[in-house]
Amino acid sequence: MSENIINKMSYGSRDVNLLDYQQSCDDFNWQTDPQQILNIAYQAVDRHLNTAIENKVALRWLSKNEQIIDFSYRDLAEQSSRFASVLEQFSFEQGVRVFSLVGRHPLLYISTLGTLKFGGVFTPLFSAFGPEPIRSRMEIGEANILITTKSLYRKKIAAWWHELPHLKVILFIDNLEKSSNADSPYSELDKGCYWLAELLTNANSRYPCAKTHGNDMALLHFTSGTTGKPKGVIHVHQAVVAHESSARYALNLKQEDIYWCTADPGWVTGTSYGIIAPLCLGVTMIVDEAEFDIERWYNILQQQKITVWYTAPTAIRMLMKAGDDIRQNFDLSALTFIASVGEPLNPEAVRWSEKVLGLPFHDNWWQTETGAIMIANFASQPIKPGSMGLPLPGITAAIVKRNEQGHVEAIETNMEIGELALKQGWPSMFRGYLHREEKYQKCFQDGWYLTGDLAKCDSQGYYWFVGRADDLIKSSGHLIGPFEVESALMEHEAVAEVGVIGIPDKIAGEVVKAYVALNPNIECSDDNLAVLKKELKGFARKKLGAAVAPKEIIFRQNLPKTRSGKIMRRLLKARELNLSEGDISTLESDEK
Ligand code: AMP
Please state the atom number of ligand 1 nearest to the C-alpha of residue 221. 2
| Confidence bin at 193 (pLDDT 50/70/90) | very high
- Nearest CA residue ID for atom 23, ligand 1: 343
**Residue 397 pLDDT:** 98
Q: Taking residues 486-501, what's their average pLDDT?
A: 93
Distance 365 CA to ligand 1 centre (A): 6
Which strand (E) or helix (H) includes residue 106? helix 106-118
Q: For residue range 335-352, what is the model confidence (pLDDT) as tens digits?
A: 999 999 999 998 999 999
Q: What is the pLDDT of residues 140-185, one digit of tens each?
A: 999 999 999 999 999 999 999 999 999 999 999 996 554 444 444 4
Indicate whether 566 pLDDT > 90: no
DSSP state of 567: B
**Mean model confidence pLDDT for the chain:** 92
> Measured between alpha carbons, how far is 532 from 523 in angstroms, rounded to an integer?
10
Confidence of residue 563 (pLDDT cuts 50, 70, 90): confident
pLDDT of residue 442 exceeding 60: yes
pLDDT at 582: 75
| Residue 355, pLDDT above cutoff 60 | yes
pLDDT at 140: 97
Q: In the structure, what pLDDT confidence band is assigned to residue 8 with cuts at 50, 70 and 90?
A: low
- Ligand 1, pocket-test mutation among 221, 367, 383, 478, most atoms within 8 A of CB: 367
pLDDT digits 0-9 by tens, 33-59: 888 999 999 999 999 999 999 999 999
Domains 75-237 and 473-589 equal at CATH topology level: no
As a whole number, mean pLDDT of residues 325-329 equals 95
* Eight-state DSSP code of residue 329: G
Residue 221 has pLDDT above 80, yes or no: yes
Q: Report how far residue 261's alpha carbon sits from residue 269's, in angstroms, rounded to the nearest whole number.
A: 8
Q: How far is the CA of 366 from the centre of ligand 1 (A)?
A: 6
The dotted CATH code for 75-237 is 3.40.50.12780
Q: Delimit the domains of the chain by residue range.
A: 75-237, 473-589
Nearest CA to ligand 1 atom 16: 342
| Mean pLDDT, range 176-200, rounded to an integer | 72
362 vs 379: CA distance, rounded Å: 8
Average pLDDT over residues 13-31: 80
Ligand 1 environment, Cβ below 6 A: 223, 268, 341-344, 363-365, 367-368, 388, 451, 453, 465, 468, 474, 479
What is the rounded distance in angstroms from the CA atom of residue 159 to the CA atom of residue 141? Answer: 19
The pLDDT-based confidence of 91 (bands split at 50, 70, 90) is: very high
Per-residue confidence (pLDDT) for residue 179, from 0 to 100: 45
Tens of pLDDT, residues 375-417: 999 998 999 999 999 999 999 999 999 999 999 999 987 889 9
Other beta carbons within 10 Å of 83: 29
pLDDT score, position 177: 55
The residue whose CA has the least distance to atom 5 of ligand 1 is 367
Full 3-state SS string of 25-63: HHHCCCCCCCCCECCHHHHHCHHHCCCCCCCCEEEEEEC
**Please, which residues have CB within 8 angstroms of residue 470's CB and are 6 or more apart in sequence?**
226, 452
State the pairing for strand pair 509-518/495-505.
antiparallel
pLDDT digits (tens, 9 = 90+) for 281-317: 999 999 999 999 999 999 999 999 999 999 999 999 9
Q: State the average pLDDT over residues 531-558.
A: 95
CB atoms within 10 A of CB 68: 11
CATH class of 473-589: alpha beta
